[in-house]
């Protein structure tokens, strides 16, 4: 008679063989339920959770010796940040759960709106999604694999992003449901943006990686003020864009080498051209400078050159009427004004729509993929 131990051993081997043959007795769920009728694949859930972890790990109040790679520590740590418009302070596990759900709701809302609009993606958009996914996989494929995320999931996520872009065009684009008018674009350009011409005098030597000291900064500031005075003296009411750029290049050739010498660097012939440019500054860009930039431009007035310390350089800058510099159509294309003007609004709508949808997520399925299983390395 076989021993009890032998019987259990035989039973275990038989069970293992059965599982190997059937392959379905014990399995992980392929989906984690649905939101508003949109099925949420497990891979999308895992990717949303992994992305949430990356955000939360940077917010976690970790103890000495703990790092962002310590998953258990991050899940227990207190985290403070913003989710939507809400200031949140909670533990890492809860924060990840909230961000993950928010991402899934957004995903479902995009899929739903895209279908409602009867939209299709152009070949260029699908190709870009595939290329982006391939690039992500090449860089971090091992880590994604360790977290149960496939390259196909990365591509599916990128396609969702492309669908959101398509919805933006179909709703607010020229031929959309409620297109942005030229008057709205013009009001945005004139009232909320700044178009600036700039000659930059460096405060940083890229060869020695040295910043200007106090005396050098004062010397370069003096050069910048002289440059601004020179450009103002050259400006005329009849000056066109070509003549204006010519004067900017001439000023750069004169003053940039002097700034480099003040830094102790050796200037090269013709380098001034690399320090000349023009740019449309949108509200997000302007806010990154605080009030320093707008205050200086306002004090000078339109069409008057002034100086602004930009940190890495002193900008000799002039606030220009946008349509004196370029056409509205070029601004729309070159600066993707539709996204700048309506992108955040549509994004907020997707989040709101997703949260309002019927939530049929499977808690047991999500528990199978709980955050404590996240891997930060392969």
The whole-number pLDDT of residue 27 equals 62
Mean pLDDT of 38-61: 98
Residues 219, 285: one domain? yes
Query: Over 60: is that where the pLDDT of 7 sits?
Result: no
Residues 202, 310: one domain? yes
Q: Which band of pLDDT confidence, cut at 50, 70 and 90, is reported for residue 81?
A: very high
Residues contacting 281, CB < 8 A, separation 6+: 193, 194, 195, 196, 293
Residues 161, 101: one domain? yes
Q: What is the pLDDT of residues 231-276, one digit of tens each?
A: 999 998 888 999 999 999 999 999 999 999 999 998 888 888 999 9
Mean pLDDT of 197-207: 94
Q: Give the separation between CA 323 and CA 252, rounded to whole angstroms.
A: 24
Residues 308, 225: one domain? yes
Q: What token pair was written down for 54?
A: 């990356």
The whole-number pLDDT of residue 24 equals 39
Report the DSSP pairing between strands 359-361 and 31-35: antiparallel
Top-confidence residue, 87 or 16: 87
* Residue 215 within a domain: yes
Query: Over 70: is that where the pLDDT of 8 sits?
Result: no
Residues 143, 209: one domain? no
* Residue 18 within a domain: no
The overall average pLDDT reported for the chain is 92
Residues 198, 129: one domain? no
Q: Which band of pLDDT confidence, cut at 50, 70 and 90, is reported for residue 4?
A: very low
Run of H or E residues at 190: helix 182-192
Name the residue with tokens 């030229």: 182
Q: What is the pLDDT of residues 102-151, one digit of tens each?
A: 999 999 999 999 999 999 999 999 999 999 999 999 999 999 999 999 99
Residues 140, 208: one domain? no
* Residue 336 within a domain: no
Mean pLDDT of 48-74: 97
Q: Which band of pLDDT confidence, cut at 50, 70 and 90, is reported for residue 13?
A: very low
Residue 117 CA to its chain's centroid (Å)? 26
pTM as predicted: 0.84
Residues contacting 377, CB < 8 A, separation 6+: 69, 143, 146
Residues 253, 293: one domain? yes
Count structural domains, the chain.
2
* Residue 54 within a domain: yes
Residues 137, 33: one domain? yes
Residues 120, 70: one domain? yes
The whole-number pLDDT of residue 373 equals 96
* Residue 20 within a domain: no
Q: Quick one: what percent of the chain has pLDDT higher than 90? A: 88
Residue 214's domain spans which residues? Answer: 188-329
Cα first-last separation, the chain: 48
The whole-number pLDDT of residue 9 equals 39
Residues 192, 76: one domain? no
* Residue 196 within a domain: yes
Q: What token pair was written down for 358?
A: 């019927």
Query: Over 50: is that where the pLDDT of 314 sits?
Result: yes
* Residue 42 within a domain: yes
The DSSP bridge partners found for residue 126 are none
Query: Over 60: is that where the pLDDT of 12 sits?
Result: no
Which of 252, 247, 259 has the alpha carbon at shortest distance from 273? 252
The whole-number pLDDT of residue 10 equals 44
The whole-number pLDDT of residue 269 equals 85
* Residue 123 within a domain: yes
Residues 307, 356: one domain? no
């Amino acid at each position: 008679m076989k021993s009890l131990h032998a019987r259990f051993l035989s039973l275990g081997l038989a069970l293992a063989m059965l599982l190997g043959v059937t392959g379905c007795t014990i399995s992980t769920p392929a989906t984690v339920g649905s939101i508003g009728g949109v099925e949420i694949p497990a891979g999308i859930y895992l990717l949303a959770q992994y992305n949430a972890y990356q955000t939360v790990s940077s917010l976690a109040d970790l103890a000495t010796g703990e790092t962002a790679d310590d998953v258990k520590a991050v899940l227990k740590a207190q985290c403070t940040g913003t989710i939507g418009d809400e200031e949140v302070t909670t533990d890492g596990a809860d924060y990840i759960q909230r961000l993950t759900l928010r991402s899934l709701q957004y995903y479902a809302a995009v899929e739903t709106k895209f279908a409602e609009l009867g939209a299709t993606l152009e070949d260029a958009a699908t190709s870009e999604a595939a290329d982006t996914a391939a690039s992500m996989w090449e860089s971090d494929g091992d880590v994604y694999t360790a977290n149960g995320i496939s390259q196909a999931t990365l591509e599916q996520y990128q396609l969702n992003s492309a669908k959101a872009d398509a919805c933006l065009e179909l709703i607010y684009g020229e031929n959309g449901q409620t297109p942005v008018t030229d008057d709205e674009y013009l009001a945005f350009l004139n009232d909320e943006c700044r178009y600036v011409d700039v000659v930059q005098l460096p405060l940083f030597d890229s060869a020695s990686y040295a910043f200007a000291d106090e005396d050098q900064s004062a010397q370069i500031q003096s050069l910048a003020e002289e440059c601004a005075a020179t450009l103002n003296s050259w400006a005329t009411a009849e000056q066109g864009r070509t003549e204006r750029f010519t004067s900017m290049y001439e000023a750069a050739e004169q003053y940039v080498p002097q700034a480099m010498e003040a830094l102790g660097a050796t200037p090269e012939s013709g380098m001034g051209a690399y320090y000349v440019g023009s740019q449309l500054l949108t509200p997000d860009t302007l806010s990154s400078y605080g009030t320093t930039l707008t205050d200086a431009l306002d004090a000078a007035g339109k069409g008057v050159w002034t100086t602004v310390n930009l940190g890495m350089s002193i900008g000799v800058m002039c606030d220009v009427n946008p349509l004196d510099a370029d056409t509205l159509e070029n601004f729309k294309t070159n600066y993707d004004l539709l996204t700048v003007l309506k992108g955040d609004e549509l994004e907020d709508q997707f989040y709101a729509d997703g949260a309002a949808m019927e939530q049929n997520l499977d808690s047991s399925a999500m528990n199978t993929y709980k955050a404590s299983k996240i891997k930060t390395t392969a």
